[in-house]
Amino acid sequence: MSASALSSTALPAASSSGFRLSKEHLVVAVPVAVISAIGGFLVSQYLNRRCCTKGLVNTSISKDSPKVVHSFDMEDIGSKAVYCRCWKSKKFPYCDGSHSKHNDETGDNVGPLIIKKKDT
């Protein structure tokens, strides 16, 4: 490249107020900055959502409630009751065996809570 061609493509000299940018530079810089900002925002939202939902145990049961609580009287249970602890049961709060699939998929070892009357 010749010296005259090089001098015509060089950046403008710095003025007392800082660097001067031409319209051509802004036409390129502004869209790149906007796309970078949007991309960064979307990536952070994806990572935040992935991180937070990964730790959730309850992904579908009574999500409109601030806290899921069930209470049972011992007299109403009968001789035996089996309750879900994996939060995957379609019959929640009762166990339907969904923990087996959950354990196979995740390597977890969760099982049901079994309450029964003491054998006499």
C-alpha to C-alpha distance for 65 and 55, rounded to whole angstroms: 18
- Give 83's strand partners: 94, 113
**Exposure pattern of 55-92 as b/e (b: 16+ CB <10 Å)?**
eeeeeeeeeeeeeeeeeeeeeeeeeebbbbebbbbeeb
Q: Which residues are catalytic?
A: 67
Of 116, 117, 119, 108, nearest to 82 by C-alpha is 116
Residue 52 amino acid letter: C
Which among 102, 94, 108 is positioned nearest to 59, based on CA atoms? 102
